[in-house]
Amino acid sequence: MNDIVKLNFGQKGLHINAELSTGYNMFMGDSGTGKSCFFNKLHSYCTSNNIPVKHITYNNISDINYSDFKIKCKESKFVIFDNGDLYLTQDLLEDIISDDNIILFSVKTAFPYLRSVAMRSVKFDGCELVVF
């Protein structure tokens, strides 16, 4: 059973209220809903609060040493993959999961064979961003 983790924080005028699970959190849906915005804010929040986080995008995926990366992801509390359609594989996701890390990834095409995935949505209205 995956644990529910609730986050509530503000950054630069934006208030964020998020419910996530340990394990996989998959973000799908329309463009412009606030997925990347949430990932960036979560990364900043973790960095400023000394919470171990890995944030991967199409920009930095090529710089990664895979064996080091797997270890660092397992040691991180949050692992974030944005624009996952460009590089993310099921093997990679299965290699980096630990007992208590929280893996967030945004894709347009789902991974149908990945187990225990929580589907997440973002509602970004005015200065309030909610993840549920």
Partner 1 sequence: MSIKKDGVIMITIFDDTNQIPEGIEYVKFNDAYFGYSGIISDNEDTRLILKTIDKCEYNNHVSFYNRCGKDFGALSKEHLSTGTKTLLNIINNPDKCFDLIELGHNAFELLAHLSKTHDGYVYSEAPLYFLKSTDDTCSFKYKGKMYDHYFELFDTIYYDGDFDE
Report which residue type is found at 86. Answer: L
Task: CB nearer to partner 1: give 13 or 67.
Answer: 13
For residue 5, the minimal CB distance to partner 1 (Å) is 25
Instruction: Tell me which residue has tokens 């187990």.
Output: 115
For residue 41, the minimal CB distance to partner 1 (Å) is 11
Task: CB nearer to partner 1: give 17 or 33.
Answer: 33
How far is 97 from 33, CA to CA, in rounded Å?
26
Task: CB nearer to partner 1: give 13 or 112.
Answer: 13
Rg (CA), the chain: 14
In angstroms, what CA-CA distances link 33 with 72, 115, 122, 128, 130?
29, 25, 6, 12, 10
How far is 105 from 35, CA to CA, in rounded Å?
9
- Name the site residues for partner 1 (rule: CB under 8 A): 12-14, 29-33, 36-37, 57-59, 83, 85-86, 108-109, 124-127
For residue 22, the minimal CB distance to partner 1 (Å) is 27
For residue 17, the minimal CB distance to partner 1 (Å) is 15
